[in-house]
A and B are shown apart, each in its own frame.
Chain A
């Protein structure tokens, strides 16, 4: 741009010299001064910082990582620089995903994989991150543009596609499995998947992929009315998967007229989205850098500033077969896990065990409150005497049903296709 402006100045000078009419000189002078002004502006345009080879803890204004490395000095994180080895996949670059991506980028994460098929719209401007001049760009491209400016050290991969389609899903799976960034890593090619999508279908797809890959992931969501949200940690086999506890399905007296009253356009607030993105990335940092307590579930109710937490165990009747497989593996690995835990406990300073008090005047004894492990694990199926299930169990339909149900005995796909085409023809 600077060289173009220089050429323009020379051109203007030539015109000025060859100009027969001196009355136009003043306007050409004005033009020249404008071009000079533009040249100055171009010179002061932001310069991209160059890549940094090693994270330094040196406290100088020019070090982008000094405040992050200070976490080590403060005794919060043992080795902050490990963050450069981690890959995080973010599915959905919307109100939560884009902000989470920016936070991780500023933290100096090693690699980010971004998935979205949408474009930036003016209606997105009530949220953070995207700028009005990016309207019309794909969200992934716009995100890469901004993020690579903020921190060129981060390896960014963008995937503009819909993961719920068959083709998109295959690409999604293979991109998660790709290990070129850190070939020595165990399992998949990423350390964590963050789901920042806005619909049930896409969450089920992320759930499916992560269950199949045995990949730990975190779910995030903001309610339609924009005043509550949640984050959830999902470890296949160990915690409930997204299909284990399906959202409350209540088919209550919905008729066609309610359609008109319902608007599709959901509300959103930059504040709630920002809070949820912050909670999500905080949990991510704790999980990756191993500090503090990683929340299994954290809710956020904005109206009451209430933050509920809970833990969910996997559902042994989960409809997702990959989830059941992971649950089986997790149970099989229990002895090894127990041994490791026992060893870790042993390594800690062993406290001399003995009675704290010498006398026990009231015969108080401490009883273990852990639930006794029952051998028959399928206890949920058995009811005490006198009680019966009112409804059939969920898996009833999976039993081979009466063959007469499909009386149409044709069983050839092409024949069926032809039959439908014949019906379509007239």
Chain B
């Protein structure tokens, strides 16, 4: 974990760790895992809110909790950039991490696989593997998506690939 900023580190230590090693094909054990996922997400979301660092919304898109959708945003130069967020829980979860997708950014950056899957190979996958099964969705967002947004959004905005929604709106108004 050396190299991570102290903020991320202290946040991480406050997200509850998970204990059940179970994937979506494991029946009752998966329900138990799902409960732990929810507890971690609830703790992380409320922590973000109380620290004035709220940056995502996520909820299960189906009853089994195998697909998740939501939104995430990043503030750059005092402007808020918001993106759709989605991922599936892989069959081999939690041995393999979920592949977080930002479909609106598909094709706009090199740091992304087809379909808008963000690249997590270097900064996140090794951590996930070492901490299996203690890390869950909340950890994936904290250690996978958050640093990706912090690194990529400024580049995307500065290069003009991503425009702020007010910019595009005012541009069309002025026409």
B-facing mask of A202-224, CB < 8 A → 1, else 0? 00110010000000000000000
Of B2, B17, B42, B57, chain A has the most CB atoms within 10 Å of the CB of: B42
Residue B110, interface by CB 8 Å: yes
Q: Kindly state the separation between the CA atoms of A425 and B95 in the bound complex, as whole angstroms.
A: 32
CB within 8 Å of B: which A387-417 residues: 397-398, 400-401, 405-406, 408, 410-411, 413, 416-417
B25, B66, B89, B95: most-surrounded residue (chain A CB, <10 A): B95
A417–B92 touching, CB < 8 Å: no
Q: Are A264 and B112 in contact (CB under 8 A)?
A: yes
Residues of A within 8 A of B46 (CB): 423
Residues of chain A in range 228-286 having any CB-CB distance to chain B below 8 Å: 243, 246, 249-251, 253-260, 262-265
Contact across chains for B60 and A166 when beta carbons are under 8 A apart: no
Residues of A within 8 A of B121 (CB): 262, 264
Partner of A423, one of B36, B42, B119, B155: B42
Chain B residue nearest to A424 (CB atoms) is B57
**How far is it, in angstroms, between the C-alpha of A264 and the C-alpha of B152 when the chains are bound?**
13
CB within 8 A of B91: which of A165, A265, A417, A424? Answer: A165
Q: Size band of the B side of the interface?
A: 35 or more
Closest Cβ neighbor of A398 among chain B residues? B21
- The residues of B that contact A406 with a CB separation of less than 8 Å are 16, 19, 36, 39
Q: How far is the CB of A284 from chain B (nearest CB, A)?
A: 25
A164 interfacial by beta-carbon distance below 8 Å: yes
Contact residues, A317-347 vs B (CB, 8 A)? 319-320
Bound complex: CA A201 to CA B132 (Å): 14
Residue from B45, B119, B122, B148 in contact with A424 in the complex, judged by beta carbons closer than 8 Å:
B45
Report if A166-B88 is in contact (Cβ < 8 Å); known contacts: A249-B129, A253-B3, A264-B111: yes
Which residues of A lie under 8 Å from residue B17 when comparing CB positions?
Answer: 405
Chain A residues with CB under 8 A of B59: 417, 420-421, 424
Q: Point out the residues of chain B lying under 8 angstroms from A309, CB to CB.
A: none
A36 CB–B CB distance under 8 Å: no
CB <8 Å contact, B151 and A260: yes
Given the known interface contacts A200-B125, A204-B95, A259-B148, the answer about A413 and B42 at a Cβ–Cβ threshold of 8 Å is no
Distance A262 CA – B25 CA, assembled complex (angstroms): 34
- Taking each of A166, A246, A410, A411, which has the highest tally of chain B beta carbons within 10 Å of its own beta carbon? A166
Does B126 reach chain A (CB closer than 8 Å)?
yes
Residues of A within 8 A of B103 (CB): none
On chain A, the residues within 8 Å of B114 by CB distance are: 118
Across the interface, A420 reaches (CB within 8 A) one of B24, B42, B89, B92, namely B42
Whether A411 and B91, one on each chain, are in contact in the complex, defined by CB atoms closer than 8 angstroms, is no
| Chain B residues, CB < 8 A from A164 | 88, 90-92, 96, 99
**Which residue on chain A has the smallest CB distance to residue B25?**
A166
Give the CA-CA distance A258 to B148 in the complex, in Å. Answer: 11
Rounded to whole angstroms, the CA-CA distance of A254 and B147 in the bound complex is 11
A406 nearest CB across to chain B (Å): 6
Whether B35 sits at the interface, judged by CB under 8 Å, is yes
Is there an interface contact between B36 and A264, defined as CB atoms closer than 8 Å?
no
A419 at the interface (CB under 8 A from B): yes
CA distance A373 to B95 in the complex (A): 33
Give the CA-CA distance A246 to B125 in the complex, in Å.
12
Say how far A73's CB is from chain B's closest CB, in angstroms. 47
Contact call B1/A251, Cβ cutoff below 8 A: yes
Known contacts A251-B1, A255-B4; decide if A417 and B126 are in contact (CB<8 Å): no
Q: Chain B nearest CB: distance from A173 CB in Å?
A: 10
Complex alpha-carbon distance, A250 and B125, angstroms: 10
How far, in Å, is B16 (CB) from chain A's closest CB? 6
Q: A169 an interface residue at 8 Å Cβ cutoff? A: yes
Task: Identify which of residues 17-53 in chain B touch chain A, using a CB-to-CB cut-off of 8 Å.
Answer: 17, 19, 21, 24-25, 31, 34-36, 38-39, 41-43, 45-46, 49
Which chain A positions have C-beta within 8 A of B123? 254-256, 258-259
What is the distance, in angstroms, from A256's C-beta to the closest C-beta of chain B?
5
- A243:B95 contact, CB within 8 angstroms: yes
Assess the B43–A417 pair: CB atoms within 8 A: no
- A163, A259, A413: the one within 8 Å of B35 (CB): A413
Please determine whether B35 and A255 come into contact, CB atoms closer than 8 angstroms: no
Contacts of B133 on A, CB cut-off 8 Å?
Answer: 397
Q: Give the docked Cα–Cα distance between A403 and B4 (Å).
A: 30
Q: For B95, what are the chain A residues with a Cβ–Cβ distance below 8 Å? A: 204, 243, 319-320
A120 CB to nearest B CB, Å: 12
Is there contact, CB below 8 Å, between A246 and B129? yes
Contact: A256 with B113, CB < 8 Å?
A: no
Q: List 8 A-B contacts (CB under 8 A).
A: A165-B88, A166-B24, A166-B66, A249-B126, A254-B123, A263-B111, A405-B19, A406-B16
Q: A258-B122, A419-B42 are in contact. List 15 more A-B contacts (CB 8 A).
A: A163-B91, A164-B92, A165-B66, A166-B24, A166-B91, A169-B25, A208-B91, A208-B92, A256-B5, A264-B121, A265-B110, A405-B17, A405-B19, A408-B39, A424-B57
Q: Which 8 A-B pairs have the closest CB atoms?
A: A416-B38, A255-B3, A253-B3, A259-B151, A169-B91, A251-B126, A204-B92, A264-B119
